[in-house]
Amino acid sequence: MQSTMQDVPLTLGFLLRHGLANFGKSKVVTCTGEGTRETTFREVGEQAAQLANGLAGMGIRDGDRVATFQWNNAEHLVSYLAIPGMGAVLHTLNVRLFTEQLVYVANHAEDRVIIVDGSIVALLAKALPEMKTVEHVLVHGGDGAELQGMGPTISRYEDVVGSQPTTFDWRTDLDERSAAAMCYTSGTTGNPKGVVYSHRSVYLHSMAACMGSAFGVGEQDRVLPVVPMFHANAWGLAYAAWMAGADMIMPDRYLQAEYLCPLMTNERPTIVAGVPTVWSAVLRYAVENNVDVSFLRTVICGGSAVPLSLMKGFQEQLGVRVVQAWGMTETSPLAAIAHAPAGVTGEEEWTYRARTGRVFAGVECRIVDDAGAELPADGEAVGEFEVRGPWVTASYYQGDDPERFSDDGWLRTGDVGTLDDMGFMQITDRSKDVIKSGGEWISSVDLENTLMDAEGVLEAAVIAVPDDRWSERPLAAVVREAGSQITAEQLRDKLSAHLARWQLPERWTFIDEVPKTSVGKFDKKVLRKQYADGDLDVQELAPPPS
Ligand code: ADP
């Protein structure tokens, strides 16, 4: 029996029209470094129509890739809406990629047009000559003189877009399964791989982000995504905010705590989102400078494991709730959120909130062993997480890396850990970061979290290094807080209260900063190379007294 329901495709044109029709007065505030500039959803919608008309005039048609090389600002939101809304495909380029990787992804995606922020034209200039399919570059806020003569036509954004009509017949007729946007994984191993989101997947993911059991985004909210719009679509927050009519506070390129804190004080966001390194800097700055951020309802934190000390620091020193979430570019990204179960309070609540996340509606999760056999969800068995769902990718663009998908169509996440019978995931490692010592796994996430809990420690990353006897052993790379003299012995003592003796690292190094990836995560690949090249000053402790 068929239903009687209307078969309206879930498109971004449909989403765009909703925000425009109902929340025209909602605001988009962009940081300028010295202050802010403000616009409304109505104006953003009009500018999106102008951009769509401009792109259509340049010959952009359904399915053509239009790339953005932009910060989190009102103009990037215009691109987010206009490009898929007209039937083209939004490709967000990561402005922090190395030149070769930028060239690789633009060629792989076959971008026809790039919209670039005037402040980063010089970065694009290094890559543009090698980008084979780009025909046109639109420079927002600048003339792009540095780009002239490289092949593509270079225009001022305002010249192409500024005088276009402010209405557009947004495409609500598209096949909801057609491509709306694409994003490349940041390529911590090998070349970046492309994930192509459909209109349907983005629409459903936006609804999920708005759910009370996720972030509960509503019109009363003001959403500040610190996570870049080129990193897994700013975790879906731009579309979720547009859908819900929530104001958006955009940090532009001003991502340091000394900008974020005043921006927050002035604009009073309720929901903010970013990776742990951003929030630990904000916590330090806010405490040192007595900044009141109690208006924040939720700090969404993910992208890498969130140290308990960071969550408790926010709660106890700033009165603000940090919520850990888990996901990947491949999962749109939201797949799990660590809200404690109903009725759980006090210390027990922390044991849930410190976990990686609880799988939420729309995503299914299982753990499997090395041979792909499913393991019990008993909170004990350790295996690789596999996920599936309507906003989880079924393949990479152009069929890259097919072995990342199981025979029955689940995504192999490359994350390893436990799953319990309430859907709580605990990641112990990424599979490429696991430390296998004498046949047993040592969790780098556990070691790092315990170390970052210690007084005097700013950052800590633990990597596996070769060992003659145990095959691999952990090496702890620690960044001390300014003025701290904490020693490796003291840190090992601290660890010994939480971990088994054989899990305690004997190799230690104190460094100035943990190397970071283009999206601000610890880059263990670089640390491993520094170790292999003998660039780290490693201290080896004698075994602890038993
Ligand atoms: P990249 O793979 O280049 O880092 P992604 O942003 O897609 O790009 O990263 C997804 C990965 O980030 C996950 O597979 C997982 O390893 C890690 N991750 C995300 N959120 C968490 C979390 N809350 N705890 C631990 N790891 C996380």
**Per-residue pLDDT tens digits for 484-516:** 999 999 999 999 988 888 899 999 999 999 999
Q: What is the dihedral of CA 139, 144, 146, 151, to 10 degrees?
A: 70
Tally Cβ neighbours within 10 Å of residue 62. 13
| Known catalytic membership, residue 188 | no
- C-alpha 128/C-alpha 134 separation (Å) is 8
Model confidence pLDDT, tens digit, residues 306-315 = 989 999 999 9
pLDDT(120) > 90 = yes
| Contact criterion met (CB below 8 Å) for 335 and 357 | yes
| Contact criterion met (CB below 8 Å) for 257 and 291 | no
Nearest 5 degrees, angle CA 220-CA 355-CA 295? Answer: 25
- C-alpha 246/C-alpha 390 separation (Å) is 25
Half-sphere exposure (Cβ direction) of 133: Cα atoms closer than 13 Å: 16
pLDDT(45) > 80 = yes
| Cα 192 to ligand 1 centroid, rounded to whole Å | 14
| Cα 326 to ligand 1 centroid, rounded to whole Å | 7
Question: What's the mean per-residue pLDDT of the chain?
Answer: 95
Residue that has been written with the tokens 């990037």 in this structure: 76
| Cα 430 to ligand 1 centroid, rounded to whole Å | 8
- C-alpha 280/C-alpha 167 separation (Å) is 43
- C-alpha 72/C-alpha 132 separation (Å) is 27
Q: Which of 191 and 55 is assigned the larger pLDDT?
A: 55
Tokens matching residue 82: 């206009």
The predicted pLDDT at position 98 comes to: 84
pLDDT confidence bin for 518, thresholds 50/70/90: confident
| Known catalytic membership, residue 71 | no
Tokens matching residue 145: 């003189």
In the set 36, 43, 364, 436, the catalytic residue is 436
The predicted pLDDT at position 189 comes to: 59
Phi and psi dihedrals of 450, rounded to 5? -70, -40
Q: What is the mean pLDDT of residues 267-271?
A: 98
In terms of Cβ atoms closer than 10 Å to its own Cβ (0-12, 13-18, 19+), residue 540 is: exposed
Tokens matching residue 439: 């046949």
**Residue 303: CB within 6 Å of ligand 1?**
yes
Q: Per mean pLDDT, which range of 130-144, 208-222, 390-404, 440-454 is the poorest?
A: 440-454
Strand pairing class (136-140; 111-117)? parallel
pLDDT(433) > 90 = no
In the set 330, 386, 448, 459, the catalytic residue is 330
| Cα 90 to ligand 1 centroid, rounded to whole Å | 22
The predicted pLDDT at position 546 comes to: 63
Tokens matching residue 194: 């492309």
**Residue 324: CB within 6 Å of ligand 1?**
yes
| Contact criterion met (CB below 8 Å) for 227 and 219 | no
pLDDT(384) > 90 = yes
In terms of Cβ atoms closer than 10 Å to its own Cβ (0-12, 13-18, 19+), residue 243 is: buried
Q: What is the mean pLDDT of residues 238-252?
A: 98
Tokens matching residue 325: 């979430």
Contact residues for 115 (Cβ-Cβ < 8 A; gap 6+): 51, 66, 67, 68, 69, 70, 75, 79, 137, 138, 140, 157
The predicted pLDDT at position 279 comes to: 95
| Contact criterion met (CB below 8 Å) for 473 and 458 | no
Among 533, 528, 416, 544, CA closest to 475: 528
The predicted pLDDT at position 359 comes to: 97
The predicted pLDDT at position 545 comes to: 67
pLDDT(39) > 70 = yes
pLDDT(258) > 90 = yes
Amino acid at 341: P
| Known catalytic membership, residue 242 | no
pLDDT(55) > 80 = yes
- C-alpha 3/C-alpha 488 separation (Å) is 66
pLDDT(188) > 70 = no
Alpha-carbon separation of residue 423 from 53, 182, 238, 374, 449 (angstroms): 46, 29, 27, 15, 22
DSSP code at position 277 = H
Contact residues for 330 (Cβ-Cβ < 8 A; gap 6+): 185, 195, 392, 393, 411, 413
Q: What is the mean pLDDT of residues 150-177?
A: 97
Cα four-point dihedral sign 307, 308, 313, 314: positive
DSSP code at position 481 = P
Q: Report the greatest alpha carbon distance in the chain.
A: 77
> Nearest residue CA, atom 3 of ligand 1?
186
**Residue 413: CB within 6 Å of ligand 1?**
yes
Among 257, 51, 279, 272, CA closest to 170: 51
- C-alpha 116/C-alpha 137 separation (Å) is 7
- C-alpha 413/C-alpha 397 separation (Å) is 16
The predicted pLDDT at position 187 comes to: 62
**Residue 304: CB within 6 Å of ligand 1?**
yes
DSSP code at position 59 = T
pLDDT confidence bin for 517, thresholds 50/70/90: confident
| Cα 159 to ligand 1 centroid, rounded to whole Å | 40
Tokens matching residue 388: 């599936």
| Known catalytic membership, residue 517 | no
pLDDT confidence bin for 157, thresholds 50/70/90: very high
Which of 186, 193, 301, 328 to probe ligand 1 with, by most ligand atoms within 8 A of CB? 328
> Nearest residue CA, atom 25 of ligand 1?
305
Contact residues for 411 (Cβ-Cβ < 8 A; gap 6+): 330, 331, 386, 387, 388, 392, 393, 394, 404, 405
